[in-house]
Amino acid sequence: MRADKGGGRRGGTALSEVAGPDQTAPAMGQTLLVVVAILVFSLFALNQHRARAGAEISAMGREIELAATELANARLLAATSLAFDEGVIGLTGFTVDPAVLTPPGSFGAGNDPDEDENTPADDVDDFHGVTTTVTVQRNDQTGRDIRFTVTYSVRYVLPDAPATPSPGNNPTLAKEVTVNVVEEVDSDLGRTPVTCTLSQVVTPAWNALHG
Amino acid sequence: MAAILDHLTAILVGASLLGVLLFVQHRSGQAAVEATVHQAAQTQAFSIMESIERDADNMRLIEGARPQVAQSEGRTTRLTFHTLDDPSDGENASVVAVTYRLESTYRTMTVDGQERTIYRIARYVNDGVDDDGDGSLYDYTGGSTEGVLSFDARLISRDGTTAISNGDAPDDFSRVSVNLAVAIEGPARVAGDQAATATTNVSQQGRTFRPLTLTTVSDAGPDPIPDPSAPLPPLPSPPPTP
Domain contains A124: yes
Q: What is the pTM of this model?
A: 0.80
> Letter for the amino acid at A115?
E
Task: Establish if A80 belongs to a structural domain.
Answer: yes
Is B34 near chain A, with CB under 8 Å? yes
Counted across chains A and B, CB pairs separated by less than 8 A come out at 101
Q: Which of B158, B190, B208 to mutate to test the interface with A (most CBs of A within 10 A)?
A: B208
- Residues sharing a CB contact under 8 Å with residue B126, sequence separation 6 or more, in sequence order: B96, B97, B98, B99, B137, B138, B139, B226, B227, B228, B230
Please check whether residue A177 lies inside any domain of the structure: yes
Determine how β-strand B95-111 pairs with β-strand B216-217: unpaired
pLDDT at A7: 44
Separation CA A118–CA B43 (nearest Å): 42
**Residue A30 placed within a domain:** no
Domain encompassing residue A72: 47-210
Cβ atoms of B144 and A50 closer than 8 Å: no
Question: Is residue A17 assigned to a domain?
Answer: no
Instruction: Please name the residues between 48 and 107 in chain B that touch chain A, using a CB distance below 8 Å.
Output: none
Give pLDDT tens digits for B30-60: 777 878 888 888 898 999 999 999 999 999 8
Partner-chain contact B208 A70, CB within 8 Å: yes
Q: Which residues of A touch B204 (CB under 8 A)?
A: 63, 66-67, 138-139
Taking CA atoms, what residue in A is nearest to B210? A77
Taking Cα atoms as reference points, which of B79, B36, B66, B57 lies closest to residue B179?
A: B79
From chain B, pick out residues whose CB is under 8 angstroms from the CB of A77: 175, 208, 210
Residue A143 belongs to some domain of the structure: yes
Inspect the interface and report whether the beta carbons of A59 and B111 lie closer than 8 Å: no
CB contact under 8 A, A51 and B158: no
Of A124-133, B6-15, B57-66, the range with the lowest mean pLDDT is B6-15
Q: Number of structural domains, chain A?
A: 1
Radius of gyration of chain B (CA): 25
Whole-Å CA distances, A17 to A11, A12, A121, B131: 10, 8, 97, 101
Min Cα–Cα distance to chain B from A139, Å: 7
Evaluate whether residue A15 is within a structural domain: no
C-alpha span between B225 and B83 (Å, rounded): 11
Give the span between the Cα atoms of B132 and B232, in whole angstroms.
13
Average pLDDT, chain A: 81
Q: Is residue A27 part of a domain?
A: no
Question: pLDDT tens-digit profile of A36-84?
Answer: 888 888 888 888 888 878 877 888 888 899 999 999 999 999 999 888 8
Enumerate the β-bridge partners of residue A201: A176
Q: Give the model's pLDDT for residue A2.
A: 46
pLDDT given at position B188: 64
Give the largest CA-CA distance in chain A.
131
Q: Which of A31, A62, A77 is opposite residue B208, by nearest beta carbon?
A: A77
pLDDT number for residue B220: 58
Average the pLDDT over B71-95 and give the result: 90
Determine whether the interchain pair B181/A45 forms a contact, defined as Cβ–Cβ distance below 8 Å: no
